């Protein structure tokens, strides 16, 4: 009898996990790779939600079905967000490895806090936009940390 109760409990828990609603949260780090330390580096996290459907239109060759997106871009803007300062990769002396280590410590703290809050790191993706030639002087290293958890 005990085995049957245990088996039913395990089956119920497995069943409820299979249909759990999942939510995602994206945290973005932007680290400046502008020479001479002139850039800005931050961790950014929205504290407001947006529904992509409010800013999406469906385009078609059929003029009757074609619906142009007339939403105002300013409506998309999020005014409430967290912004955590990071250090730039470069200063006047060149690349600063201490700054990279400091940023790693701050990012680790953010990730650990998210995990303590019940989030699981699901994906990480990054990209670089580096200097495009003489006189460009622009560049960023961007990383998106995508977390997920069961909706509460």
> Across all residues in the chain, what is the average pLDDT?
83
- Does residue 68 lie within any of the structural domains? no
Tens digit of each residue's pLDDT (9 = 90 or more) over 106-133: 999 999 999 999 999 999 999 988 766 6
Closest to 89 (Cα-Cα) out of 123, 131, 121, 125 = 131
* 121: β partners: 147
Read off φ and ψ for residue 94, nearest 5 degrees: 115, -155
Least confident of 63-72, 92-101, 123-132: 63-72
Q: What is the mean pLDDT of residues 62-86?
A: 79
Give a yes or no: residue 70 inside a domain: no
The answer on pLDDT for 67 being more than 70 is: no
Q: Among 9-18, 22-31, 36-45, 101-110, whose mean pLDDT is lowest?
A: 9-18
Mean pLDDT confidence for 66-72 = 65
Residue 111's domain comprises 22-52+79-150
Residue 66 lies in a domain: no
Q: Is residue 9 part of a domain?
A: no
The verdict on residue 35 lying in a domain is: yes
Mean pLDDT value of segment 124-146: 82
In the chain, how many domains are there?
1
Share of the chain above pLDDT 70, in %: 75
Q: Is residue 14 part of a domain?
A: no
Show the DSSP H helices in 47-137 as ranges. Answer: 73-76, 97-116
Quote the CA–CA distance of 152 and 140 in Å, as a whole number: 35
In a domain, 10, yes or no: no
Tokens of 60: 């078609």
Q: Let me know if residue 87 belongs to a domain.
A: yes
Q: Would you state the pLDDT for residue 42? A: 95
Q: Give φ, ψ of 141 to 5 degrees.
A: -115, 115
Residue 17 pLDDT > 60: no
């Amino acid at each position: 009898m005990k085995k049957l109760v245990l088996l039913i409990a395990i089956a119920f828990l497995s069943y409820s996990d299979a249909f759990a609603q999942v939510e995602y949260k994206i945290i973005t780090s932007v680290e400046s790779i502008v020479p001479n330390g002139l850039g800005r580096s931050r961790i950014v996290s929205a504290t407001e939600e947006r529904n992509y459907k409010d800013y999406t239109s469906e385009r078609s060759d059929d003029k009757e079905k074609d619906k142009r997106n007339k939403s105002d871009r300013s409506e998309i803007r999020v005014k409430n967000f967290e912004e955590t300062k990071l250090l730039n990769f470069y200063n006047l002396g060149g690349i600063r490895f201490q700054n990279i280590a400091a940023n790693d410590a701050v990012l680790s703290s953010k990730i650990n806090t998210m995990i303590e809050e019940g989030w699981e790191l699901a994906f990480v993706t990054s990209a670089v936009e580096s200097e495009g030639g003489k006189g460009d002087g622009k560049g960023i290293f961007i990383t998106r940390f995508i977390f997920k958890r069961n909706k509460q």
